[in-house]
Amino acid sequence: MMSDPQAPRRERPQVSQGSPRPSARSGRPSAASQARTRSAVHASSTRQGTASHTRVSQGTGAHSRVQGSATPPLAAPRNGMAHIASGSPDEGHGISRGVAVAIALCVCVVVAIGAFFVLTRCVFAPEEGDVPAVEPGQMVTVVIPGGAGGDVIANELLKAGVINDEKAFMQAVSSQGADMKLKPGTYQLTTGMTPDNVVAQLVAGPNTQEGRLTIPEGLTVSKTAEIVEASLGIPTSDFLAQAKAQNYVADYPFLAEAADDSLEGFLWAKTYDFSGKEVSADSVIRAMLDQYAAEVPTIDFAGGEQQIYATYGYDPSDYEILTLASIINVEAGGDEDYALVSSVFWNRIRAGMPLQSDATMGYVTGGEVTADDLQQESPYNTYLNQGFPPTPVCTPDLACIEAALHPADTDYLYFLLIENDGYSNHTFSTTYEEHLQAIEQARQEMAELGL
């Protein structure tokens, strides 16, 4: 009767005492050291053969001091200091002018080398936290963690080369009013993007499938486990072992009615984004139960159940409504049929008839239901047993739950729903004879189409 159930910090160069200290900015000796060098050269070059001498004192700071002195030539050294006469080159014991110039040139060379070293480090040494440049136009993967603030997001984008200016990115976020709209997840982005385009993508959400889990409505827990394994790599056996109502009822009171320790019907259908997160069977199940808890309370169960009782004389529980909604989800061909199919089942309950749904035995067989299957004893065999099966047979969507609570006002007791290679037949009947006629007509039409 029913339809198919499957539907480094910088270091300065060390300068020895007596040498001018290089300037880090100019690369030249400081003004003070230049003055002192000129004084020393002048004293030695203009008073040849006189008693005027130059005394090199023992310096204690960064620079050595050069002072004029009246000490006689060849005076004995005192305190380890040598007194060197400034005489003519022929005298053999003074420093010639050429030698003095050479010394000065050497000093300048040392200063220049030191300054070059310092400047090279200033210009070319990377600062701590510098990010190497990335060639524009390269596709990169960026993971934006959940709960990340704008500064964290900007830093991730900068490191990946997607942006090159954190301030410009934050300005784009502000101008677009996107401070609270940037979504976490895994993104495929291009290096060198404009800040405005990056913000627009982060507002739109992740643009990859990595870490994403899409669960359509109408799936059993077993089928859900298979998709979880394919999408997230969590073994099906681990998921099924964890998916027990007793593991979650303390945190989710709506599971108190669940029969057979089953989460059937509660693992809400949705696309979940787990990118950038560590996942487990437990965390995935909790995400689904959280979604159920967010979605289902929008439905007025109490009001609908009161109307069901008034019309059909049956006072259903929330769990029975969920169970019927799951049957409707499998049996009905689309939204337009939900309320009609619901009316058939409620009319049968009112008439004391079994539901006779192939969908419930399909939950047992996991696929097609044969005539022999319908003779098999099972609490899910609604041909042999009155009332609802022990648990839902899949996770329904909100529309199916609403239909279970608000059936169409009909006298229908039967329906024929066929979708087969373009052939469509949705027929509802009040009597068994009408139902048989609808079946025969469908056979003839399909034969003519070669189906």
The span from the CA of 370 to the CA of 429, in Å, is 23
Query: What tens digit of pLDDT does each residue of 13-22 get?
Result: 333 333 333 3
The span from the CA of 43 to the CA of 259, in Å, is 109
DSSP calls for 90-143: GGSSS--HHHHHHHHHHHHHHHHHHHHHHHHHHHHSPPTT------TT-EEEEE
**Domain range summary for the chain, segments of one domain joined by +:** 31-72+82-122, 139-204, 212-297, 299-412
Residue with the bigger pLDDT between 104 and 346: it is: 346
Residue with the bigger pLDDT between 32 and 155: it is: 155
Share of the chain above pLDDT 90, in %: 57
Please enumerate in sequence order all residues whose Cβ is within 8 A of that of 293, keeping only pairs 6 or more positions apart, or say none: 252, 254
Ranking 72-76, 144-148, 321-325, 364-368 by mean pLDDT, the lowest is: 72-76
When the pLDDT of each residue in the chain is averaged and rounded to a whole number, the result is 78
The span from the CA of 371 to the CA of 356, in Å, is 12
Please report, for residues 24, 43, 51, 301, the alpha-carbon distance to residue 73 in angstroms, rounded to integers and kept in the order given: 39, 14, 6, 116
pLDDT score recorded for residue 51: 34
The span from the CA of 2 to the CA of 267, in Å, is 25
The span from the CA of 393 to the CA of 311, in Å, is 25
Model confidence band, residue 339 (pLDDT cutoffs 50, 70, 90): very high
- Return the sign of the alpha-carbon dihedral for residues 441, 446, 450, 451: negative
The torsion region of residue 281 among left (phi > 0), alpha (psi -120 to 50) and beta comes to alpha
Model confidence band, residue 223 (pLDDT cutoffs 50, 70, 90): very high
Q: Do the beta carbons of residue 284 and residue 274 sit within 8 Å?
A: yes
Residue with the bigger pLDDT between 281 and 276: it is: 281
- Return the sign of the alpha-carbon dihedral for residues 175, 178, 184, 188: negative
CA 10 to chain centre: 37
Ranking 53-57, 200-204, 354-358, 397-401 by mean pLDDT, the lowest is: 53-57
Please report, for residues 133, 166, 356, the alpha-carbon distance to residue 142 in angstroms, rounded to integers and kept in the order given: 16, 15, 52
**Amino acid in position 381:** N
Model confidence band, residue 274 (pLDDT cutoffs 50, 70, 90): confident
pLDDT score recorded for residue 43: 34
- Domain spanning 139-204, CATH class: alpha beta
Query: What tens digit of pLDDT does each residue of 142-199 get?
Result: 888 878 888 899 999 999 999 999 999 999 999 999 988 898 888 889 898 999 999 9
pLDDT score recorded for residue 96: 53
pLDDT score recorded for residue 105: 58
The pTM of this model reads 0.62
The span from the CA of 18 to the CA of 63, in Å, is 5
- DSSP tag of 296: G
- How many Cα atoms within 13 Å fall on the side-chain side of residue 8? 8
Q: Say whether pLDDT at 28 is over 70.
A: no
